[in-house]
Structures are given as structure tokens and as C-alpha cells.
Amino acid sequence: MNDVLVNDSKNINTNGKATHTYDAIVVGSGISGGWAAKELCDKGLKTLVLERGRDVQHLKDYPTMNLRRWELPHSGSITLQQKVNNPLISKAAGYDEATQHFFVKDEEHPYIQEKPFDWIRGYQVGGKSLTWGRSCQRWSDWDFSAPLRYGYAVDWPVRYNDIAPWYSYVEQFIGVCGSRENIESMPDGEFLPPMEFNCVEEHFKKVIWDQYQRNYIPGRLAHITEPKEIHGQQGRAQCQNRDLCMRGCPFGGYFSSNASTLPWANRTGNLTLRPHSVVHSVIYDEQKQKATGVRVIDALTKETTEYFADIIFINASALNTNLILLNSTSTRFPNGLGNDNGLMGKYICFHNYRGSMNATFEGMEDQYYKVRRATECVIPNFRNLKKLEADFLGGYVIFSGGYRSNKIYSTAAGIGAAFKEELSEPGAWGMYMYMQGETIPKASNHVRLSDTEKDRFGMPLLITSVGYDENDDKMVHDFLEQGQAMFKSAGGVNIQVNDSRSHRDWIFMRWVAYAWDMILKLRC
């Protein structure tokens, strides 16, 4: 007979509690969940990793990793019907015919947008570590101290020197390429060799340093440019500059849970990985006054099971972590686990990517490059560092890159030897920029659970109420103004600027009132 645990007047079918007990439970298998599994398993803890999506194994489950675009049914493009069926997710960066299987389908995973907000999700083992941008810039003391210095939000309880050894610990394992620059606003790390600039990037770097004293540096990204012993131990190899990263890399050239941390954890013999496991809530034991486990719904059978551990890590992404905790109600926590002050789900922050621009650069047409470099260049934040110099709070980083465009074809017939010759000739050089801006914590930017609508697992739908304010508008205006000025100084022409006003979920949870970031640790 199954054991029955009574908790807050609810019968919990444990299906044999002893067989469902581990030293640690990790919810989510993405970047943070995979890392938590690696660390716990390395320390000898029997660890259960719960992933709500399907299993994805390195190499085995990358169906498009080696396909050329013309080998795909629609040459990589998303069909009109797919866009109609998935109006939200089809807007995600990197979403196309070759990567769509690593993103959710809109109709299968609904939520309620009180304000326009695109929640980008990938439910599978590895999560969005398969499709992330791989950018690994360190925060500086200017970032950690800004709220205290400028009187907004809540002071961070840590500073850069507290975090720096852990940055190094992670960088050495995952492999981060970059250049040592001694920039105060973007500290150096444990870098593998950087990827090279092309000629237009070299030109731009010189101009903005000479005229603005602003840095233009190779991006610090999780790509192996020169494998070390630790990367060989993971079975990973050098990045091949294919720029097909979001299909899953057969070389393990970029860091993902699938290529790195989960296989590492599995080799210890301490890992149990359970896909198709939707975590409903955290179980709080009223007598012990601590969290003791999690309630799980099987995504295929809808059967409910409970798992128990002394350590519970919730790594279900920022918004799903809030959903789980808000749904974890008990007599002690009627408004969600740990939510005595009612702040859970509030002060949501997200990256402001609204501003972008492109420019054409004349000359340098005798130069070219052959690789499809998978990294970008970066202009580190230059706003509001040592003093509040702008009319907005916070700052922004600029991501950028130079490219050789395709030639504008003139052959009227569009066929034959002459047209083929034109196809082989490159066009003018160009550059792009886009901002990654900081949003300031405010209570009105929040998520909460619906009182009436539920998903197919019977869980409340998440309501997102996240929007821009005047501070965000001023930051976007500053980026567009400064970006155009830098392009013009470097000789850029045909400058096209854009403010998309889009809301995307490249979210980071600020340490506001809670010490709950993208990982919540409940140690019992």
C-alpha cells in the first residue's frame, strides 16, 4: 500500500516515500539547474533533477545541427501558418525552422498578458541553455553599488569582490573567450583567446576611443576558442565558427547544460534526471516548519507524485520560479511559500532591448573575412558610473558587429553565368548596434496567479503585468542619440534606427527585499 502523508489537510500519494527521497532536488535543467546538479553531484549528494519538458541528449537530439539551409523544407524560414499558430514565440531571437523544436508552442503554454510582454520559453532538458546568447560579461562594483549611491531600489548585500572568485570558478569550467581590457565597468575574467575583429570593427574601435574614450571590445561569450584540459574532460571541443549554435552544437563549442554540466553530473552516478515533470508546488511540512519536497505532475499521464529532499533548488526560470512559489500555499504560507511580506512576484526587471540601428560604411572593399563568427562585440556601459550624469537611472551595454553585406544584383534576367558571377561578389560593409539596458525595480512590474484560469495541468495561469516607464524611454533615447553619433563619427551612412518598444523576457530578478534570484535555495 502506498504511504500517505497528510499535509495541510491534503492527502499526498507518495507511492512509497522512501523510494522518492533524495539528498537534493533541482527543479529545472537549464543553465542554473544544470550547474546546481553538477555541484551537488560532485559533492556526493544523490540529486533528482526535474524537467517539465522532454528529454534532449547531446548530439542524439540535435536533428538539424548539420543541415544546410537548402536541406530544410522551407530553407530555414517559418511558414505563414506557423506564425499564425505561434504569434508570440515566432518573434523570439533565433527562432526559425531549424530551431523551432527548442521553443514552446504558444497554444500549449498559455499565460495572460495584462500588459504586452513576450515570455520566451524552451521546455526541454537543457532549457534555454540550448538557445541562449552565450554572453558572459561580469558585473562591476558600479553595478552592485548603484542603488545605494543613487537612492533607488534596495542596496545589494554583496559587492564585486564577493562574487569575483565565483565568476572565475564558473568561467574556467564553461569556457569564456574574451580579451583582458582593464575596464572598470566590465571587469576582466578567466578568458580563452578572443575572436578577431574584422576591418570595419577595427576602424570603429579606433574612432570611438579617439573621439569618445569609449571601449569597443570582443564580446565575452561562452565559446571555446582554445580548449583546456577541463573542456576535454567534458568531451567538448573548439568552436568551429559555424554560427549554427541554437540548433545544438555537435562539438560542444559553446556551453550548454546538455553538452557540459548534465553529462558531468551523470558520470558521478549521483544524478537522476526525470523529464516530463511539471512541478506544481513545494511541500511545506507544518510540523517540521520547513520545506520537505515538491509535488510533481507527469506531463504525459497527468499523474501526481511527490519527491522529498533536505535541499531544494528551484531553477525554473525567473517567472516559473515565482509561479511555483506563489502556488505553494499552506496554512503557514497562505499567499505562497515565504511570501509573508507580499513581495513575491513584484519588482520584476528585464533587459531593455528596444533600441537598435544599422549603418553602411564606404571603402575597405578590398578586405573580407571568411568565418561565420558566433560572437559579437561590446561597448561596455559608459553611463552613470562614477556619478549620475544622465537624466535616467541605470545604464546600458551595446552589442555590435560589422559585416559584409550581399551585393545588390543588377542583372535583369536573374539567371545565367552573369548572374552567378554577381552572386559571388560581396557588397558594402555595414555595422549594427543594439542596446541591453537596465530596468529599474518597481512594484508595478509584477506577475501573479490567475484566480480563474488554469493550464492543462490544472495549475493557475501566470498573469504578467510588466511595462516600460519614463526612465526606460529616456534610456532608449540616449542610446539612439549616442549610437548615431558614434556611427557618424566613424563615417557611417544610411543610418537606420529603430525603437521596437517590444517587451521580451530576457529577465533577471533583482535582489529586492528577497534574496531570491533566478535560483531559490531552501536549505532545511
Q: In this predicted model, what pLDDT tens digit does every residue of 429-476 receive, in sequence order? A: 999 999 999 999 999 999 999 999 999 999 999 999 999 999 999 999
DSSP assignment string, 106-152? GGGS--EESS--B-----BTTGGGGT---B-PPP-HHHHHHHHHHT-
Which H/E stretch holds residue 362?
A: none
Please report which confidence band the pLDDT of residue 7 belongs to, taking 50, 70 and 90 as the band edges: very low
**Exposed, middle or buried: residue 301 (CB in 10 Å: 0-12, 13-18, 19+)?**
exposed
Max Cα distance, the chain (Å):
82
**Among all chains, which residue has been given the C-alpha cell 488554469?**
454
- Domains, the chain, with CATH or none: 1-55+127-134+255-325 (3.50.50.60), 61-123 (no CATH), 201-218+349-510 (no CATH)
Alpha-carbon dihedral sign for residues 524, 323, 352, 101: positive
pLDDT in tens, 217-259: 999 999 999 999 999 999 999 999 999 999 999 999 999 999 9
What was the pLDDT predicted at 427? 85
Instruction: Look at residue 30 and tell me whether its pLDDT is greater than 90.
Output: yes
What was the pLDDT predicted at 522? 33
Instruction: Look at residue 406 and tell me whether its pLDDT is greater than 90.
Output: no
0.75 exceeded by the pTM?
yes
Instruction: Look at residue 78 and tell me whether its pLDDT is greater than 50.
Output: yes
CA trace torsion 236, 241, 245, 247 (10° rounding): -90
- On whether the CB atoms of residues 222 and 176 are closer than 8 A, the answer is yes
pLDDT in tens, 287-338: 999 999 999 999 999 999 999 999 999 999 999 999 999 999 999 999 999 9
Please report which confidence band the pLDDT of residue 423 belongs to, taking 50, 70 and 90 as the band edges: confident
Rounded CA separation 16/305 (Å): 10
Rounded CA separation 232/25 (Å): 28
Please report which confidence band the pLDDT of residue 514 belongs to, taking 50, 70 and 90 as the band edges: very low
Rounded CA separation 220/139 (Å): 12
Q: Cell numbers at residue 53, please?
A: 519538458
Rounded CA separation 382/404 (Å): 28
